[in-house]
Amino acid sequence: MNKAQIQCLAVFAVFAIIGFGPISPGCLIGMYVIIKRPNWFSKLVDDLYGNPMHQNLIASNNVRIKAFLCLLTLFIIDIAPVPVTPVVAVVIILSRPQWFFCVVKGVYSERV
């Protein structure tokens, strides 16, 4: 486990505790990242994945819309008494699936 994984797990542990309510901080931050595409998040993902070999990723024109809609759906589901987003985030942080890396790079590749 690398330093970025430990830091992300700590943040989402806090989100899981404070997420018992109508607002999901993880989803809100995710939506912000999709809209504004801050440099710190792209660097965080590179650190999380241990600076993987960058492949030629083909970005879909609507990857940002799909990612935003997925986060919006999670945001709505998180209104229930059990926070779902932190659990999903922990699984992504620990398993580091290739699809997540591709989605993030797809969101950032469309940068104007």
- Distance between alpha carbon 92 and the CA centroid of its chain, in Å? 8
Structural domain of residue 62, as residue ranges?
A: 3-109
In this prediction the pTM is 0.81
In this predicted model, what pLDDT tens digit does every residue of 37-66 receive, in sequence order?
Answer: 999 999 999 999 986 655 555 556 688 899
Q: CB-based contacts of 68: which residues, under 8 Å, 6+ apart? A: 31, 34, 35
Total domain count, the chain = 1
pLDDT higher than 60, residue 82: yes
